[in-house]
Each structure stands twice: as structure tokens, then as C-alpha cells.
Amino acid sequence: MHSIDEADEGEKPGDQMPFPELWNVFKCILPFLWPKGKTNLQLWFIGTFLLVCFQRVLGVLIALQDGYIINKLTKLEIPLSEFYIMVFLRVLKFVCVMAHILCWMPVTYWSTGRLLIEPHSKILDLSKDFHDAKESSKLWEGLNRGLGINGSFNQLITDIVPTIADLVLAPGLLLSTLGPYMGLLMTTIAIFYVWLNGEILARILQLQRKRNSLLEREKTVLHETTANWNTVSLFGRGTNEKLRYSEAVHNTINARKSVAYLGLVQYAVQSIVLLTGYIGVCLRAAYQISQGSLPLGSYMTCISFWDTFTGSLKSAPDLFQSIASSLVDAENMVMLLEQQPSIVNSSTAKRLCIKEGDVEFHNVEFKIKDQYILNKVSFYCPGGRTTAIVGASGGGKSTCLNMLFRFYDVTGGYIKIDGQDVRDVTLDSLRGMIGFVPQEPQFFNTTIRENIQYGNEDATEETIHSACRDVILHDKIMTFPKKYETMIGERGVKLSGGERQRLAIARLIIRNPQILLFDEATSAVDTETEAIIQRNISRLSAGRTVIVVAHRLSTVVNADSIIVIKDGVVVEQGSHKELLEKGGYYKKLWSQKTELQ
């Protein structure tokens, strides 16, 4: 299997053998369809299967009973007992249909639940590298399509298996009741029909893969243009984006047309083959009756068997195509489920234990392919002190915080907290003791109160209000009509950039972590508000380890230590005063700032 991001780059849809691929998809999906370890659901499953098979047996008995009734009528006798038996069989078949639906419902609801929950859990378990590379619209579209496999599995149990039984039973019954020529005729038609539809189905699946790829592209364009409406408007690209989406839609429609046209060809071929077979069966039966070798009722039985046979024969390709199509649709879901997180707990991982809160980077290297993002980075952050990391954009400052939080693992050297390598402690304990405010904080489309409380579900109203006062946000919130119950919109779009940053810091404050990480956490607020927030954070972070990434050097002049990074390398360390006296890179940055002011 390929990764989700590689799915569109490798093989073309027409270049691969579809059926082995589909079998691999089915094997991966099967654990989500069969209720392993749940005896009650397994009994419902088996009960459904038996009831469906019994329905097919009843169908054969009803066809035979129709023939008995016709034979009685040809003798001018009233087939009363035969009629009662037929009514009983039809009522019994109806009861079996209702019973199999009721038996199947618990199984299908369980399966639907798993197909919804497991991919969501997998997405949350995957590491930052996956989330940095994913296309959300493509991911959601693939998962939504993948749910169709549940309905197809239902078809497999309730339709495919019985259909195969019909295709075996009908020729056998005709062979025994109407002679070997009739059985041979039906068997020949069935083999040719299945082979022909198999060839067409392979081509349909190739076209469907192409359609799915184009549909994902269409959804991506739709998501991007609507989510980035501001950018589209700012650059006056509305007309271009309308054309781009229109082109994507038309490409998808053309792909759908190709599938539909080939399906029409399939239907025409099916009809011609079955019509030819029907004519042959009817002529053969009529000839045998005219010769007196068969009673008239056998013609009715023959037609009933033929209807059952052709009904199953016509539905078989559609059912197989439906299941195969669902397996194609589920390919992206399977790729997701097969993904493994790059950051995991080691087999000997223990819970992080923090006493002093000392943080040490020793010869830390981090590279992507052959490009170094951090190269031999070493520095020490004493517990209970504030350390600032500064430097030009793209120098690796934020990467240091991401490495400490273990969004990524080092490719060389180590990072330790109180002497414990972060790779040797559990992720939950590590991230539970570190609070992180990133450059672009993200929020849920819910209320201000619920977004803040996400940092600590047990936080009281007073604690929430106090945290908002510390970040100079409480008074502003109280001016809103619904105050703390105000909805902030998707990703917090109803708040300004500065309000979002302050909300993120308030969320961090109520979490009360032992190590605080701030990545440009106040870059969007004015200098006066920033100064007040800095004083409040300094008061709240007393005795805690604080690491701050900043572009505004004025915000870190009081830091106990400043780490200066350039192009992924630590070039200077020291206090603000010491670094100015050195007259190096830091002084150059400070001078540039002063000149701008």
C-alpha cells in the first residue's frame, strides 16, 4: 500500500491489476466487518446468513408449487391443498425476510460505528509529519466514500452468497426436472455471461479510480477556495477560482459519464445474452411439452426457474461491481489505517518525572532528507528560569520547541528534561507537563468558555475569568452580548489575531503546566498590551521553566538566558547585556530593530 500522499503519484489507474488490489483492501477492511470477540453479534450474523439461504430454498419450493397448481388445473381439478401450501410458503418467506433484516441490524450498526471511530482514532494517533502533509478535504472525502463498504458487506451476505446459490441450484433443478439439454444451456449462458461481465467490470473499476481521483481534486478546490475566501478576495481572484472549480467539476462529470456509458454497454450486452438464452429455454420447453414428454405445469416451473436464474444472473455483476466499487472507494481509508505514527512510545517508556524542570539540548540534529534544520544545537535551560530563543526567520527556533514537545524526534544528539531523554518517557506524560502556545493557535467552533476550558475541563468560572484578566481579555469578552458563551467561529475567525493569541495563553494558564513554551505568542498584540501580559506571565510562571521564541527582542531583554540561532546553529548564548557587549550577531539584530523604530 502507498501512503495517502503518494496515492496520486505512483501507478495510473489503468496500469495496475485491480482484483489483487481489491482483495488486499478487503482483507484490511474485514476486521471492521466481522464482530470478532462479540458472541452475540456473531450469532446474529450467522442467523442472518441461515435465514437468507432458507429464503432461497423457499423460492425453489414456491416455483415447484406453482407447477403443481398448473398441473392440477390442466386436469380440471381444484388445487386447494396446493394453493394453501403455496400461500404458507410465501408467508414464511416474508417472515424470513423480516427476521433477517432484524438480525442484521445490530451487526451493521456495530460495523458502521467501527468504520467511523477507528479512522478518527488513527488520525489523532498519527504524528505531526502526517498532519503537516495531509489534504483535509481529500482525507474527509476518502473516509466518507469508505463508509460505503459497510453496505456492500451487507450485500455480500444478503445478496451475493444467495445469488451464487441460485446460479448453482437453478441449472441443477432444470437438469433434474427438464432434462440435460436445459441444464447445459443454462450453464453455458451463465459461464459466458459471468466472463463477459468480468471483463467489463475490470475496465469500470479503472475508470472509477480515475473518477475518485478527480472527485478528490474537485473537493480540494472547493475546500481551498471557500476556506481561503479572504485571500481570494484580497487578490481579486474570484473569477479565476470560479473557473478553476468549474473545470474540476466538469472533469469529474466527464469521468462519471465514462463510467455510466460503459455501464450502459454492459447492460446492453447482458440483455442480448439473456434474451438469447430465454428464447432457447422457452423453445426447448415448448418442444418437450408438445411431444408429451413434459406436463404443462413444467413450463410454468421452467419459467419460474428461469426468472430466478436470470434475476440472479443479472444482479450478480451489479452486486460484484457494487462491492468492487466500494472496495475501490475504501482504498484511501485502508491507506490511512495502515499508516503508522512516526513518533511512538518506546517499549521501555516511563512516565516523565519533573523535579527542577531543567531542559538540555545536546548536539541536537534534525534533518529532512539531506537538509539540516538543526545542526549540533546545544544549550541548557535551568529549571525555574526563562530562556529565550531568537534569530532570523527560518533559522530553526520553532523547530527547537517542536523537538522538545516531541512533535518530531531528533536525528542526532538528545534532549533531556531533568536528565530524562524525551524519547524514553511516555508521550502523554511529556505533553501533559508541557504547555505550548504555537505561532498560530487553533480553536474549535464553539464558545469562548469551552475553548479556554479545553486546557482544563475542571476549571471553574472564576479560574477562567482570572486567566482572561491576566491576558487583558476579560473586559473585552464582557462587552460581547453573550460574553463567555460567544461563539468564536471556525478556527476562531470571529476574533482578531491578538484576541486569538491571548485566548490561547489563557487556555495555557488554566492548564497549569510545569514547563511553558511560547512561540511568538504575543506577536499580534500591541506593545502596551504585550508588556502587561509579559508581566502577568512572569508572575504566573515563577518557579517554572519558560522557553520563549520571539522576533521582538524587546520582549526577551529580561530573560535569564538568550540563545541565538542562525541557520540551524547556535551562534551565541548569554544575557541581553552580555550579548550586546560581545558585539556579535545578536547585537546586529538589536541594532536593526533599533533602526526600524
Which of 180-184, 397-401, 470-474 is predicted least confidently? 180-184
Q: What is the pLDDT of residues 451-490, one digit of tens each?
A: 999 888 889 999 999 999 988 899 999 999 999 999 988 7
pLDDT score recorded for residue 388: 93
Position 297 pLDDT exceeds 70: no
- pLDDT-derived band of residue 15, with 50, 70 and 90 as boundaries? very low
Handedness of CA 486, 490, 491, 492 (dihedral sign): negative
Other CB atoms within 10 A of residue 280 CB: 16
Q: Are residues 289 and 407 in the same domain?
A: no
Cα–Cα dist 118/150, whole Å: 14
User: 263 and 384 in one domain?
Assistant: no
Please report whether residue 2 resides in a domain: no
pLDDT at 234: 62
User: Would the pLDDT of 7 be above 90?
Assistant: no
With cell 503508522, the residue in question is: 340
- For 58-62, what is the mean pLDDT? 81
Neighbours of 236 (CB within 10 A): 8
Boundary (domain end) residue, out of 283, 308, 338: 338
Specify the CATH number for the domain of residue 577: 3.40.50.300
Rounded CA gap, 127 and 252, in Å?
A: 32
Residue 4 lies in a domain: no
CB-CB contact of 200 with 266 (8 Å): yes
Look-up: residue for cell 481509508? 333
Distances in whole angstroms, Cα of residue 197 to Cα of each of 80, 166, 202, 227, 324: 44, 18, 9, 43, 13
**How many structural domains does the chain have?**
2
Q: Write the CATH number for 150.
A: 1.20.1560.10
Mean pLDDT confidence for 244-267? 86
Most confidently predicted of 29-43, 185-199, 404-418: 404-418
In a domain? residue 380: yes
Instruction: Tell me what pLDDT residue 360 has.
Output: 95
Res. 265: pLDDT tops 80: yes
Q: Lowest-pLDDT range, 210-214, 228-232, 380-384?
A: 228-232
Check pLDDT > 70 for residue 31.
yes
Q: Both 273 and 393 in a single domain?
A: no
Query: Quick one: cell of 194?
Result: 459471468
Note the pLDDT of residue 177: 64
Residues 402 and 283 in one domain: no
Confidence of residue 178 (pLDDT cuts 50, 70, 90): low
30 and 177 assigned to the same domain: yes
Average pLDDT (55-69) is: 79
Q: State how far the alpha carbon of 539 is from the alpha carbons of 179, 281, 462, 555, in Å.
A: 97, 93, 18, 15
**Ramachandran sector of residue 418 (left: φ over 0; alpha: ψ -120 to 50; beta: rest):** left
The answer to whether residue 561 scores a pLDDT higher than 90 is yes
346 inside domain: no
Residue 345 lies in a domain: no
Cα–Cα distances in angstroms (integers) from residue 378 to residues 167, 424, 568, in the given order: 73, 19, 11
pLDDT class of 324 with cuts at 50, 70, 90: confident
Of the ranges 242-246, 268-272, 348-352, 523-527, the best mean pLDDT one? 348-352
Look at 70-74, 217-221, 462-466, 548-552 and tell me which has the smallest mean pLDDT: 70-74
Own/partner long-range contacts of 462-465 (Cβ < 8 Å, ≥24 apart): 463/510, 464/506, 464/510
- Joined together, the cell numbers standing for residue 208 give 472509477
Same-domain status, 374 and 467: yes
Relative to beta strand 515-519, strand 545-549 is: parallel
Those residues with Cβ within 8 angstroms of residue 286's Cβ, 6 or more apart along the chain or in another chain:
299
The yes-or-no verdict on residue 362 having pLDDT over 80 is yes
Residue 239 lies in a domain: yes
Q: Is 526 exposed, middle or buried (0-12, 13-18, 19+ CB in 10 A)?
A: exposed
Checking if the pLDDT of 580 tops 80, the result is yes
Residue 81 pLDDT > 50, yes or no? yes
Q: How confident is the model at residue 172 (pLDDT cuts 50, 70, 90)?
A: low
Cα distance between residue 225 and residue 213, in whole Å: 19
Residue range 559-572: average pLDDT? 92
**Per-residue pLDDT at 13:** 37
**231-241: average pLDDT:** 76
Query: CA-based Rg of the chain, rounded to a whole angstrom?
Result: 35
308, 338, 368 - which closes a domain? 338
pLDDT of residue 3 exceeding 50: no
Claim to verify: residue 327 and residue 382 sit in the same structural domain: no
Task: Mark whether 280 and 333 lie in a shared domain.
Answer: yes
Segment 173-178 mean pLDDT: 65
Looking at the DSSP bridge assignments, the partners of residue 447 are 487
* SS3 (DSSP) at 57: helix
Lowest mean pLDDT of 72-81, 375-384, 449-458, name the range: 72-81
- The answer to which of 75-84, 219-228, 257-266, 309-318 has the lowest mean pLDDT is 309-318
Residue 377: pLDDT band (50, 70, 90) is very high
One domain, residues 559 and 591: yes
Range of the domain at 318: 19-338
More confident residue, 544 or 144: 544
| pLDDT of 485 | 93
Looking at residue 570, its pLDDT comes to 93
Of 144-148, 353-357, 379-383, 538-542, which range is least confident?
A: 144-148
Range with lowest mean pLDDT among 237-241, 351-355, 580-584: 237-241
| pLDDT more than 90, % of the chain | 24
Q: What is the pLDDT of residue 14?
A: 38
Whether the pLDDT of residue 349 is over 90: the answer is yes
**Whole-number average pLDDT of the chain:** 82
Do 235 and 156 lie in one domain? The reply is: yes
Least confidently predicted of 2-16, 92-106, 171-185, 387-401 = 2-16
What does the DSSP assignment read for 319-337?
HHHHHHHHHHHTHHHHHHH
Please check whether residue 424 lies inside any domain of the structure. Answer: yes
Q: What is the pLDDT of residue 167?
A: 67
Query: Cell 531528533, residue?
Result: 410
161 near 53, Cβ under 8 Å?
yes
Mean per-residue pLDDT, 436-465: 89
Range name among 146-155, 214-223, 393-402, 439-448 with the lowest pLDDT average: 146-155
Q: Do residue 330 and residue 371 come from a single domain?
A: no
Q: Which residues contact 457 (CB under 8 A, 6 or more apart)?
A: none
pLDDT in tens, 115-126: 888 888 888 888
Mark whether 529 and 405 lie in a shared domain. Answer: yes
Q: How far apart are CA 215 and CA 252, in angstroms?
A: 6
Q: Is residue 457 part of a domain?
A: yes
Closest CA to 493 of 484, 485, 503, 483: 503
Ranges assigned E (strand) in 425-560:
434-437, 515-519, 545-549
